[in-house]
Amino acid sequence: MAASSPPCPLPAASATPERNPFRALALSPMPATPSSPPADTDGSRAHLLAFALPAAEQLHRLADSPDLTVLLADRDGLVLAAIGHLAIAPGSARMEAIAGAPGGGAGLCLAEPIATRTRGLLGLADASARLSHGGVVSLLSLLRTTAELIEHRLTETAPGGCIALHLHSHPELLGTPLEGLVVFDAEGRLLASNRHARRLLALPTEAEGSTCLDCVGQPWPALRARLGRFPAPLLLDGRDGQTLAALVRVVGSVG
């Protein structure tokens, strides 16, 4: 009897496992076939699909292999879309149950978290199991880059009335998907951030709700006062002594 394929490697647990849905997914596997997918009561799945599906489709085109399937799942690992070789109906399987599934399961499954307010998982499943080490490394890089693009897009689609801080150590990268992006609500509490911002500011993944002062070292009134008055970037202190250039904008503004 052939040995079963290994399960998808899931993202590592954070320092605060009780608030990390990815750790919950890794430690408490859910049924492979949900009896009935839970209702999308808060609209988070629809929001994730709207902004992540185009990037997932582009990932499949770039991977350029008939044996690969791109998987998009919600924060609980429930597959919302499968693009490619594996025929998986939306809501019919959990991501961690796909590798080694009987009747044509995946031989390799890679997963990358989409760590924003609308959380999810982006995965790649290979039905051939013939990928070289170099091929796996290339796919991991492509997977991670796509997840970063999705995070940036989801972060910049925060509700109206919010204020976004675009930041980077290289000012010429402001306004690109490589920038850090943090979004504060009307009271100056952190609403969302992308991974580049968390790295530049040394923020934990679970920093939502933190004050503007705690996140970027600036009092909220001072940051709000820059709106529409200071077109030049604000200079902030980042991690390891880095100086960061930052632009303050109302969410949805391009000027």
Identify whether 6 is part of a domain.
Answer: no
Residue 153 has pLDDT above 80, yes or no: yes
pTM, two decimal places = 0.75
CATH number of the domain where residue 171 is located: 3.30.450
Q: 145 and 187, same structural domain? A: no
Range of the domain at 98: 17-33+43-155
CB distance 148 to 186 below 8 Å:
no
Identify whether 11 is part of a domain.
Answer: no
Each residue's pLDDT tens digit, 191-247:
999 999 999 999 988 888 999 999 998 899 988 888 866 677 889 888 778 899 999
Q: 72 and 181, same structural domain? A: no
Percent of the chain clearing pLDDT 70 (strictly above): 77
Q: 199 and 125, same structural domain? A: no
Q: Please count the structural domains in the chain.
A: 2
Identify whether 201 is part of a domain.
Answer: yes
Identify whether 38 is part of a domain.
Answer: no
Identify whether 143 is part of a domain.
Answer: yes
Q: 204 and 144, same structural domain? A: no
Identify whether 27 is part of a domain.
Answer: yes
Q: 126 and 178, same structural domain? A: no
Each residue's pLDDT tens digit, 173-183:
998 889 999 99
Q: 125 and 177, same structural domain? A: no
CATH number of the domain where residue 66 is located: 3.30.450.40
CB distance 105 to 95 below 8 Å:
no
More confident residue, 142 or 116: 142
pLDDT for the residue numbered 81: 93
pLDDT for the residue numbered 7: 42
Q: Looking at 26-35, 54-63, 108-117, which range is the least confident one?
A: 26-35
Q: How confident is the model at residue 159 (pLDDT cuts 50, 70, 90)?
A: confident
- Tracing tokens 């040394």 back to the chain, one arrives at 202
pLDDT for the residue numbered 252: 57
Identify whether 104 is part of a domain.
Answer: yes
Average pLDDT, integer, range 115-134:
80
Q: For 66-102, b where at least 16 C-beta lie within 10 A, e where not — what string? A: ebbbbbbbbbbbbbbbbbbbbebeebebbbbbbbebe
Percent of the chain clearing pLDDT 90 (strictly above): 37
Q: 143 and 26, same structural domain? A: yes
Identify whether 5 is part of a domain.
Answer: no
Query: How many Cβ atoms from other residues are within 10 Å of residue 124's Cβ?
Result: 28
Each residue's pLDDT tens digit, 74-111:
988 889 999 998 888 888 888 776 654 444 445 678 88
On the 0-12 / 13-18 / 19+ scale of CB atoms within 10 A, 44 is middle
| Residue at a domain's end among 105, 132, 155 | 155
